[in-house]
Amino acid sequence: MTQPSHLAGALRHRRYPLTAWPWRALAYAASTLPVVGVLAVAWSVVAAPLLLVASALRRGRPVDVPVLAALAVLALAALAVAPLASAPVAALERWRLRLVDDRPLAGPLRRGPAARWASAAAWREVAYAAWLATAVPLAYGTFGLLVLLDVTLVAGPWLTGGGERIVLIWATVDSPAGAVPYAVAGVLAAPALVYLAGLLVVGQATVARWLLDGAPDAVALREVTRSRARLMGAYEAERRRIERDVHDGAQPRLTSLSLQLGLARLDVPDGSPAAGPLDAAHEQAKELMVTLRGIVQGIRPRQLTELGLAGAVGDLAGRSVVPVTVHADLPRPVPELVEATAWYVVSEALGNVARHAHARHAVVRLTRTDRRLVVEVEDDGRGGADPARGTGLTGLADRVGAVDGRLLLASPPGGPTLVRVELPCRP
C-alpha cells in the first residue's frame, strides 16, 4: 500500500492512530503555540487600542482628535511593516509544514525588500500571519477546553476520592462510583479527540499551503503570456516561410515534371512497354500536385491571402453542404495570426455542422471591436455537442487558447448549437 505523503491522506486510513502521523500532528500543534503566542501579542498591541476606540465611538463617547491621529499612524505603520515582518514567519511556517505534509511547497520569488509591497505573495503571507494571530488561537483554545474536559472526566474517580463534590458536564458527582461512567465515556472519547486534533492540524496546514504557496505574481503571468505570443508569432513566420518555399520551389518543379511526363507519353506508342509506366507516373505526379496544393492551403489558406477574412469565410460558406449565411462587421484589419485562427474555427465548426448537427441552416457572424474579434457559428440542428465525444471541439479550443482566446459552447439537446470564439486583437 502506498504510504500517504500528507496528514490529510493519512487520516483516511484505519490504522492512522497506530502510525507516526498522530505524533507528527502533535509536534506541529505544539510548535504552533509559541508562534501563535508571539503573533497574538503583536496583534493585540495594534488591535486592542483600535477596538477600544471603536467601542467608545459606538457608545457615543467623545474621543480626542490626537488619540485618533495616533491610532491612525499606528495602523498605517503596522500595515507598512507587515509585508516585511511576515517574511520570517512565512519562512518558518513553510519549514514547519513539512512535519505534516511531505509534498514540496514553492517559496516566493526572491526580491528586494521594496518589491514586497507590490508582491501578491507577500500580502498572502501577511494574511496568513493575521490568520495565525486571530483564528488559530480560537481553534486551539476550543480544542484545549475539550481536552481538559476529557481529562477531567477520566480523572473524576480520583478527584472525588476525598469526598469532594465536582461537576462533570451537567451533573454533580460526590463519590468515585458515580464518576466511573463519566470516566469510561472520557476514555472512549479519547480516540475521537485524536482524530479531531488531526483534522484541526489538517485545516491549519491546508490554509498554510493555500496562502504560502509561491504562485507567480501577475507580473510573471503577463511575461508568460508575452512569451507565448512571441512563440506563436515566430511559429507563424516560420509557417509562412515554408509556404513560400513550397509554393515557389516545389510546386513549379512538380508542374514541370508533370508536363514532361505528359509530353513523353505523347511520343510513346500505346502498345509500347513504356506506355503503362509513363501513364502511372503521370497520374501520380498529378495526384502529388493536388496533395501538395492541399498542404500549402493547410499551412495558410490561399483564400485568406486573396480575399481577406470575410471573403474567405464567405468562400467556406459557399462550399458548405448546409446553407450558411455570413454576417461580417470588420471595420479594421485583423492580425494575420488571429485571422488564420478565425478561419480554422469557422472551417472546423461548419465541418461539424455538416457531419453531426443534421441542421438545415447555419449562420456565421464576425464582429471586430477595439480589442477582440468575435466569431459565432450557430446552427438549427439537433444540439447535444460534447467535446468529450471527439467532435473536434477540444482541438479547436486548444488552437484558440494558443492565441490567448477562449471558446464558449451552448448546445442543449434539441438545439440550437452556438460556438462563440473570442480572440484578442492587440494593437
Instruction: State CA 83 to chain mean position distance.
Output: 26
On whether the CB atoms of residues 50 and 71 are closer than 8 A, the answer is: yes
Instruction: State CA 205 to chain mean position distance.
Output: 21
d(C-alpha 407, C-alpha 405), whole Å: 7
d(C-alpha 50, C-alpha 44), whole Å: 10
Digit-by-digit pLDDT tens for the chain (427 residues) are: 445 667 888 888 888 888 888 899 999 999 999 998 888 888 777 777 766 666 766 777 766 667 667 767 777 777 777 778 888 888 888 889 888 887 766 566 555 666 677 777 788 888 888 889 889 999 999 999 999 888 888 887 777 766 666 666 677 777 777 778 888 888 888 888 889 998 999 999 999 888 887 544 444 444 444 555 555 666 666 666 666 666 666 667 777 777 777 777 677 777 777 777 777 777 777 777 766 666 655 556 677 777 888 998 998 899 888 999 999 888 888 888 888 889 888 988 898 888 888 889 999 999 888 788 999 999 988 888 776 665 567 777 877 887 888 888 888 888 788 888 889 887 6
Residue type present at position 372: R
Taking alpha carbons only, the member of 286, 312, 290 closest to residue 366 is 312
Instruction: State CA 66 to chain mean position distance.
Output: 48
Grid cell listed for 179: 464518576
On whether the CB atoms of residues 46 and 75 are closer than 8 A, the answer is: yes
Grid cell listed for 399: 488552437
CATH of domain 302-424: 3.30.565.10
Ordered alpha helix ranges (H), 213-301: 218-245, 251-267, 275-299
Residue 218: what pLDDT?
44
Domain boundaries, the chain: 7-212, 219-299, 302-424
* Partner residues linked to 388 by β-bridges: none
Residue 224: what pLDDT?
47
* Contacts for 100 with CB less than 8 Å, ≥ 6 apart: 6, 7, 21, 24, 25, 28, 201, 202, 205
On whether the CB atoms of residues 416 and 353 are closer than 8 A, the answer is: no
Ordered alpha helix ranges (H), 155-217: 156-159, 176-212
* Contacts for 352 with CB less than 8 Å, ≥ 6 apart: 385, 391, 392, 393
Residue 223: what pLDDT?
47
Residue 216: what pLDDT?
47
| Confidence (pTM) | 0.49
Cis peptide before 416 (omega within 30 of 0): yes
Place of cell 475521537: 192
Residue 234: what pLDDT?
61
d(C-alpha 193, C-alpha 146), whole Å: 8
Q: What pairing do the DSSP bridges indicate for beta strands 362-368 and 417-424?
A: unpaired
Reduce the DSSP state of residue 329 to 3 states and report it. Answer: strand
